[in-house]
Amino acid sequence: MSRAAPAVDAIVADVHDLIGVSVETIEPVRSGRNSRVFRVAAGGECYAFKQYPAAGDDTRDRLGTEIEALRLMQRLGVANVPRVTAADPVRRCSLLSWIDGAPVTDVLDADIDAAATFLATLHAMRLDPAGRAFRRPASEACLSGREVETQIRRRLEALRLRGAADPDLARFLETLFAPALETLLSRAARDMAAAGLDFTRLLPQEQQSLVPSDFGFHNCLRRADGTLAFLDFEYFGWDDPVKLVADVLHHPGTPLAPRHASRFRAAAVAVYGGNGDGFAARLRALYPLFGLRWVLILLNEFLPDRWRQRVVAGEAEPWAQAKARQLARASALFARLAPIEEHAAHG
């Protein structure tokens, strides 16, 4: 048995207690920024063994959300996601079916279409009694323009507290980010009003959708036949699909080529925009704000509690180096933010 993974004996004990069979091999496959995943062979089968982070200041029930979401999808016949074998909330671990595949490094037109089809399947689940019985909101759901603003300001204030220790961070926040925030907030409220929408009004339940939240090709595997499998549903729940779509288009870890961004946006409007609820107008107005939100997410390394989570998950990079890298990434994303029409026009 491989001893490369840390705490191997604990994983062996966890797997045995979960399914009552002996572990044959353990291989770490992802030492991520939050959860950790291992490929485990036990009882002649292969599984994904997932360890979820301790709560700390982050009290989101990642394990409970993912297990409930996957069981809902299994019940409703969604085929291209893992199946739940077992889970233990006390030990913060789950055992999921293993899916063979490789990370998606080159996005194809067919991948955009597959992602849109998957989102359409989840969107349809909202009409099923089992889907309606799912009560969890998506992680950091944004059901109004005001909520987007609130989340941005909350993140901004947390980072401002680090300014005394990090002058470069303070300079970026005060001279660039804060003025842009006020300009784009005013523009978003004005654009929504012009479309007959209220920046402050919560989106009614019937206009919300069931979404994976942290969705994108960073959470996909390409199987041997070229099809995609979708992973990681720790943040699944009800939300305005505008947030999901804007996050996919802005995601700095898996940037889309302009033509793929345009293709995805068009597909999303087809999935979510057919009931006259102003989806396209909300997306156009709020898109730049979600970009600003992503700029601040990239700066999470400056927050001591978040950095401790990274270290527990296996991060070995020096903190100062990580902060400098992330400030450079945030500055680059900030520099290329543009209204969605410009983003799509290059496709």
What are the chain's domains?
A: 8-98 (3.30.200.20), 103-345 (3.90.1200)
Full DSSP string of 145-189: HHHHHHHHHHHHHHHHTTTTT-HHHHHHIIIIIHHHHHHHHHHHH
Percentage of the chain exceeding pLDDT 90: 80
Cα distance between residue 276 and residue 39, in whole Å: 45
Reported confidence tier of residue 344, pLDDT bands at 50, 70, 90: very low
Of residues 44 and 313, which shows the higher confidence score? 44
Reported confidence tier of residue 160, pLDDT bands at 50, 70, 90: very high
Question: Average pLDDT, stretch 260-280?
Answer: 92
Q: Which residue type is seen at 227?
A: T
CA neighbor of 277 nearest in space, from 205, 228, 217: 205
**For the chain, how many residues are written?**
347
The pLDDT assigned to 34 comes to: 65
CA neighbor of 71 nearest in space, from 125, 13, 141: 125
Cα distance between residue 266 and residue 74, in whole Å: 28
The pLDDT assigned to 311 comes to: 76
> Among 58-67, 198-207, 215-224, whose mean pLDDT is lowest?
58-67
3-class DSSP state of 205: helix
Reported confidence tier of residue 36, pLDDT bands at 50, 70, 90: confident
The pLDDT assigned to 305 comes to: 85
Chain segment 241-250, per-residue pLDDT in tens: 999 999 999 9
CB 74 within 8 A of CB 63: no
- In terms of Cβ atoms closer than 10 Å to its own Cβ (0-12, 13-18, 19+), residue 264 is buried
Cα distance between residue 188 and residue 287, in whole Å: 9
The pLDDT assigned to 190 comes to: 97
> Among 99-103, 109-113, 336-340, whose mean pLDDT is lowest?
336-340
Of residues 336 and 347, which shows the higher confidence score? 336
pLDDT at 50 over 60: yes
Chain segment 294-343, per-residue pLDDT in tens: 999 999 999 988 888 777 767 788 999 999 999 999 999 999 886 654 44
- pTM for the model: 0.90
CA neighbor of 220 nearest in space, from 249, 250, 254, 258: 254
3-class DSSP state of 103: strand
The pLDDT assigned to 29 comes to: 87
Work out the angle at residue 52's Cα, subtended by the Cα atoms of residues 51 and 58, and round it to the nearest 5 degrees: 165
Reported confidence tier of residue 68, pLDDT bands at 50, 70, 90: very high
The pLDDT assigned to 338 comes to: 62
pLDDT at 198 over 60: yes
Pairing state between β 228-230 and 220-222: antiparallel
pLDDT at 228 over 50: yes
The pLDDT assigned to 6 comes to: 47
